[in-house]
């Protein structure tokens, strides 16, 4: 696959990792706030986990597409490493 497509994939991957990390940090901040809003902490905790799980699914497919949709999953890693 082309370098611009692989580069764009890597940028999306880094952005999703950062977004997930920031959400988790926000949950930690909410947990330590006084007074603790237990309902909000619970909603944000589930939301952060859902975003993490969804982004892993999305990135898995994005990596496959960026790699040119090879026949073998082994070729995906080879293409990204390069």
pLDDT digits (tens, 9 = 90+) for 4-44: 999 999 999 999 999 999 999 999 999 999 999 999 999 99
- Round to whole Å and give the CA distance between 48 and 24: 6
Task: Name the residue ranges covered by the structural domains of the chain.
Answer: 3-72
Check residue 9 and give its pLDDT.
95
Residue 4: is it exposed, middle or buried by C-beta count within 10 angstroms (0-12/13-18/19+)? Answer: exposed
What pLDDT was estimated at residue 3? 87
What is the structure's pLDDT at 69? 87
For residue range 63-76, list pLDDT tens digits in order.
Answer: 998 888 888 766 66
């Amino acid at each position: 696959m082309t370098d611009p497509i692989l580069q764009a994939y890597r940028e999306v991957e880094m952005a999703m990792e950062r977004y997930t990390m920031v959400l988790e940090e926000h949950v930690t901040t909410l947990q330590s706030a006084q007074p603790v809003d237990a309902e909000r902490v619970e909603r944000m905790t589930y939301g952060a986990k859902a975003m993490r799980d969804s982004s892993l699914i999305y990135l898995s497919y994005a990596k496959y597409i960026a790699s040119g949709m090879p026949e073998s999953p082994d070729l995906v890693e080879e293409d990204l490493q390069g």
